Structure 1
Amino acid sequence: MRIIEKLVTDDIINTYKEELFLFGETKEDLKDKHIIKMLNDNNELVSIAMYSHLEAEEIELYLNEDQKNTIEDVISQGIYLDAITSLKRGYNACKDIINYLLEKSKIIWCYSHIQAVEFWKRLGWYDCGESIFINQLI
């Protein structure tokens, strides 16, 4: 397995818009987003993710008042996992991408789709309410 990381391109937006949960965003909208692709030994894409470093003003848009008081300082130190999708079963590629991201930042947080809540809980991430998960609290 190998990981390729790069900034978002038009090709990625057009090819993986469903996997990255993109709904009409342009390259300009996503200019600071990073893409991580995990490829198997046959060079097949098994997982894809997108992450970013959000500004304080952007972070506040995600949080309710209680979350602003409890987790805003923590998550502002970390990276936001915009999207992560496994395209082939049996590889644990999403976990491998998360481990790769943990080498970049000790704090990772995300807004979870309802279908992925159990995945984050199995990883031991903290449910901070309103579908926001964080890998650790400081």
Structure 2
Amino acid sequence: MLMGNFSTEKVDGEMVDAIDFMVERLESLSQPELASRLTMNCVSSYVQPHKMGSVPVTIIDVFDEYALSNVVREEMYKCYPNAKLAHLKSGGNFPYLSRSAEVNLHLQIHLRQFEETEYAASNRTEPIPDTVVT
């Protein structure tokens, strides 16, 4: 019911697969799990952007149709004026599924600024070799 309105007619196979996957995941939720997620999604909350001024932010956005309205998109841009913008030509509502390689690339670029800091995602000190020797 929740995801039945997502169009799969004018999108590529990866986007169709992403929609199908999300529908399957939603259908697997119990009624209490679904109710709690819907409640969290509908609760009015607001991040105070002025308190996030020193936090590096990257906004990953898509140029095609998706569930957020342009008003919400523009408001987000206003809230984070110093954010880096990463645009994907397409990806629909679930670009992290349908365009995972591109999203991962943007995440890696965003996280590079934290390498060799206390905020690093890993404590790796040596580069990962191209091949594994066994």
Q: TM-score range by the shorter chain?
A: under 0.3
Larger of the two Rg values belongs to structure: 2
> What TM-score, normalized by structure 2, do the two folds share?
0.28
> What TM-score, normalized by structure 1, do the two folds share?
0.27
Structure with the higher helix share, 1 or 2:
2
Higher RCO, Cα 8 Å, sep 6+: 2
Structure with the higher strand share, 1 or 2:
1
